[in-house]
Amino acid sequence: MRAVTLPSYGDASVLTLADVEDPVAGPGEVLLDVVATAVNRADLLQRMGFYEPPPGASRYPGLECSGRIAALGEGVAGWAVGDEVCALLSGGGYASKVAVPAGQLLPVPAGLSLVEAAALPEVACTVWSNVFMLAALQPGEVFLVHGGTSGIGTMAIQLAVRHGARVLCTVGSSEKAAAAESLGAERAIRYREEDFVEVVRDVAGGADVILDNMGAAYLPRNVKVLRTGGRLVVIGLQGGVKGELDLAALLGKRAAVHATSLRARPVAEKAAIVEAVLAAVWPAVEAGEVRPVVDRVLPLEQVREAHELLEASTHIGKVVLTL
């Protein structure tokens, strides 16, 4: 099969299409003919050598895809060859075939194309597991998401608004602010010109739940802007890994700092998340209340350009790659 390989680590130019051996569906897995995959920031880290795939995962990048079932491994029930699906992967989406545990499959939501469906699994599973399962965002609470027009951000805004939360976000430009507000954010904060702590306090008195991709760089201000009982959930470290934590402030607020990732979770935990997403998010997608936001669709051959797009951070929503 064809796959994007990493003969070395570095900038986007190391991404190399090559002919490689086909994967095989092990027990409990299915083999997919991949139709589309999508780019995640973790793929960029993996390309640079900062994010080793977990043990047992494919060596090729790609944390989600859509496609058709080509073969069923031993013991897989409920799916048939030819079914159109999308899937949460622990790697290997940048390839014409991928093997995936059956618990990580989702049907293509009614009304969505296979290509659009490739943009959903990572953002839906990440947002649902962190904002709703872990942080238990409640209706009426204030939710702040950093990177409001990232793939994660666009899904987080929509799901939190639908849940009845007050939603604020940070963005890098006025164009992005308009996009985030059109998705339902009450106020998109242009972090280059505004201090998010000040704006969130002014608008809403503070945040009950924060979904953060900046890590160390935002840690002190995130803690500052939390309200009593607040939950900060760190899922990215784009602003560094070691930050100063003001435990007196955290204690005074009876607040918590969580940090999580999806990729390294055991298969059973991923299946539980996928099941919850199917029950809670898919109906909203099929009803048209929540949609995948796709910045653009490129052929897999343009994978280098796709990575450069994410690095330039001018995109809004997901960058999808088709095979």
Work out which of 146, 166, 265, 291 binds its own copies, going by CB under 8 A: 265
Q: Contact between 120 and its own copies (CB under 8 A)? A: no
H/E stretch holding 55: none
- In this chain, which stretch among 82-90, 257-265, 275-283, 291-299 interacts with its own copies, using CB under 8 A? 257-265
What contacts 86, CB < 8 A, 6 or more positions away? Answer: 64, 65, 66, 67, 105, 106, 107, 108, 114, 117, 118, 120, 121
Q: Which of 49, 140, 252, 283 binds its own copies (CB under 8 A)?
A: 252
Span from 97-105, 233-241, 295-303, 312-320 in contact with its own copies (CB under 8 A): 233-241
Amino acid at the residue 131: V
d(CA 267, CA 28): 10
Cβ-based nearer residue to its own copies, 66 or 213: 213
| Residue 235 binding its own copies, by CB under 8 A | yes
How many residues in the shown chain lie near its own copies by CB under 8 A? 28
- Give the DSSP letter string of 56-120: TS-SS--SEEEEEEEEE-TT--S--TT-EEEEE-SS--SBSEEEEEGGGEEEPPTT--HHHHTTS
Q: Does 245 bind its own copies (CB under 8 A)?
A: yes
137 touches its own copies by CB under 8 A: no
Per CB under 8 A, the segment of 79-87, 106-114, 150-158, 235-243 that binds its own copies is 235-243
CA proximity to 6, closest of 67, 63, 52? 52
Block residue for tokens 């204690």: 251
Residue from 62, 103, 148, 243 touching its own copies (CB under 8 A): that is 243
Do 197 and 220 contact (CB within 8 A), yes or no? no
Q: Point out which span in 38-46, 194-202, 261-269, 296-304 binds its own copies (CB under 8 A).
A: 261-269
Task: Please state whether beta strands 97-101 and 318-322 pair in parallel, antiparallel, or not at all (unpaired).
Answer: unpaired
* Secondary structure (3-state) at 187: strand
244 belongs to the binding site for its own copies (CB under 8 A): yes
d(CA 156, CA 162): 10
Q: Which helix (H) or strand (E) holds 64?
A: strand 64-72
Contact between 127 and its own copies per CB under 8 A = no
**Binding of residue 209 to its own copies (CB under 8 A):** no
Note whether 59 binds its own copies by CB under 8 A. no
Closest CA to 163 of 125, 127, 137: 137
Minimum CB separation from its own copies for residue 211, in Å? 13
Residue listed under structure tokens 């609470």: 141
Stretch that binds its own copies, among 31-39, 61-69, 107-115, 259-267 (CB under 8 A): 259-267
Q: Whose CA is closest to 74, among 39, 41, 99?
A: 99
Q: Does 258 bind its own copies (CB under 8 A)?
A: yes
| Residue 187 binding its own copies, by CB under 8 A | no
Determine, following the binding rule CB under 8 A, whether residue 241 of this chain makes contact with its own copies.
yes
If one asks whether residue 260 binds its own copies (CB under 8 A), the answer comes out as yes
Closest separation in Å from C-beta 234 to its own copies: 6
Q: Which amino acid is at 151?
A: G
User: Tokens 């130019």 correspond to what residue?
Assistant: 13
67-75, 119-127, 212-220, 307-315 -> range binding its own copies (CB under 8 A): 212-220
**Contact footprint for its own copies (CB under 8 A):** 215-216, 219, 234-235, 237, 241-248, 250-261, 264-265
